[in-house]
């Protein structure tokens, strides 16, 4: 298998991911004996109640049931902690391995074993990924009360931003921007989840946020956009987002030296599976196939899409096999790129 940096000239990782996105959406029909009739599925999410990941999980769970053979009952269990490590470890170590326990965690929990010193009791390359609902952009923003109005301002002035624990994108992307693009994000770390960080901005505890999913802002705080309460500073993505580009939001890679773009690509690659679902490695293959097929059917379900539009949630699905490919390619990256990425995420001493 090629590592992310082995593709030809241009933006190696992004070229690979864009190619995968072009084929997203394919799936087959499961014909195996129905296992799920009369069963209950628990979806364990690493997000806090009311935040972006939680909202996606609950929306999907309301429609997923209809497409799983046997139509099992589905419940959602929040298990925040350690940047979603707690939930990811639970699925692999403690949860039932019969396909009745699904996980949905922040992509940082999948990335972190590669980029930090934690030694989790799970291997992200061995999870059975069922699919992801979104592959969209992330943004950094400042509240309207801040003197920082543009990304150029962040290069000259400090911006106090809320951040989660190590491994969370709100922390990692701000540190990456400081290291690779000479930004001056000042982190107030330790917030439990996205809902708390959104409130921190409104209460004036911080001036802004970094690496929040654009879809989360639109769904959770539409008034911020409608009433022009925020300044959109920079966007991060596998490719520039058309909507954000039309709004004049610059792409982060335009501020990164060419020599560091492979590093930025590796860190930003996690956005390809920002709303992913998975099961443990030991779940039988026929049940994994049923769950994968049902996930992709849910992604094209008119009732599901209508509710997603109503809630202003972006839906850009990718099937489980493709998510699996992305994760394995990330973990096959060259040691040099991984080492430099780790350094880019180190807090100042």
For residue 330, what is the domain's CATH number?
3.40.190.150
Report the sign of the C-alpha dihedral through residues 125, 284, 301, 102, in that order: negative
Are the CB atoms for 338 and 115 separated by under 8 Å?
Answer: yes
- Residue 251 CB-density burial (10 A; 0-12 exposed, 13-18 middle, 19+ buried): middle
- Asked if 130 contacts 320 with a C-beta cutoff of 8 angstroms, the reply is yes
With a threshold of 0.85, does the pTM exceed it?
Answer: no
Last residue of a domain, one of 247, 269, 291: 269
Do 128 and 180 share a domain, yes or no? no
Range of the domain at 81: 4-135+272-344
Which residue is it, tokens 């972190």? 112
Q: What is the pLDDT of residue 51?
A: 72
Shared-domain flag, residues 86 and 147: no
Domain termination site, one of 210, 235, 269: 269
Residue 74's DSSP bridge partners are: 41
User: What pLDDT tens digit does each residue of the chain (349 aa) get?
Assistant: 444 444 444 455 556 665 665 555 444 333 345 889 999 999 999 887 777 789 899 999 999 999 999 999 999 999 987 778 899 999 999 999 999 999 999 888 898 889 877 677 889 999 999 999 988 899 999 999 999 999 999 999 999 999 987 667 899 999 999 999 999 999 999 888 788 999 999 999 999 999 998 988 988 899 999 999 999 999 999 889 999 999 999 999 999 999 999 999 999 998 888 899 999 999 999 999 999 999 999 999 999 999 999 988 889 899 999 999 999 999 999 999 999 999 999 888 7
- Residue in the block written with tokens 């539409």: 222
Q: How many domains does the chain have?
A: 2
Do 169 and 232 reside in the same domain of the chain?
A: yes
| 3-class secondary structure, 118 | coil
Same domain, 84 and 190: no
């Amino acid at each position: 298998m090629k590592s992310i940096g082995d593709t030809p000239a241009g933006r190696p990782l992004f070229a690979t991911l864009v190619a995968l996105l072009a084929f997203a959406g394919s799936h087959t029909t499961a014909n195996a004996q129905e296992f799920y009739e009369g069963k209950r599925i628990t979806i364990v999410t690493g997000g806090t109640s009311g935040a972006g990941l939680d909202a996606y999980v609950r929306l999907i769970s309301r429609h997923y049931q209809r497409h799983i053979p046997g139509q099992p009952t589905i419940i959602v269990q929040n298990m925040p902690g350690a940047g979603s490590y707690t939930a990811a470890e639970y699925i692999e170590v403690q949860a039932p391995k019969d396909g009745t326990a699904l996980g949905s965690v922040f992509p940082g929990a999948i990335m972190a074993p590669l980029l930090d010193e934690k030694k989790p009791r799970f291997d992200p390359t061995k999870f059975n990924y069922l699919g992801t609902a979104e592959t969209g952009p992330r943004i950094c923003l400042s509240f309207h009360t801040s003197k920082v109005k543009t990304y150029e301002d962040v290069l000259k002035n400090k911006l106090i931003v809320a951040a989660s624990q190590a491994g969370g994108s709100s922390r990692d992307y701000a540190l990456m921007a400081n290291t690779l693009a000479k930004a001056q994000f000042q982190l107030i770390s330790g917030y439990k989840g996205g809902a708390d960080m959104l409130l921190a901005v409104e209460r004036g505890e911080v001036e802004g946020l970094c690496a929040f999913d654009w879809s989360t802002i639109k769904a959770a705080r539409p008034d911020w956009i409608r009433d022009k309460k925020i300044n959109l500073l920079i966007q991060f993505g596998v490719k520039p987002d058309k909507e954000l580009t039309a709004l004049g939001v610059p792409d982060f890679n335009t501020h990164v030296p060419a020599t560091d773009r492979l590093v930025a690509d590796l860190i930003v690659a996690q956005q390809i599976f920002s709303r992913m679902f998975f099961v443990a490695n030991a779940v039988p293959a026929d049940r994994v196939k049923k769950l994968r097929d049902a996930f992709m059917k849910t992604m094209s379900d008119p009732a599901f899409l209508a509710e997603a539009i109503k809630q202003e949630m972006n839906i850009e699905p990718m099937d489980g096999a493709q998510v699996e490919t992305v994760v394995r390619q990330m973990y096959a990256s060259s040691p040099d790129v991984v080492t430099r990425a780790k350094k880019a995420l180190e807090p100042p001493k």
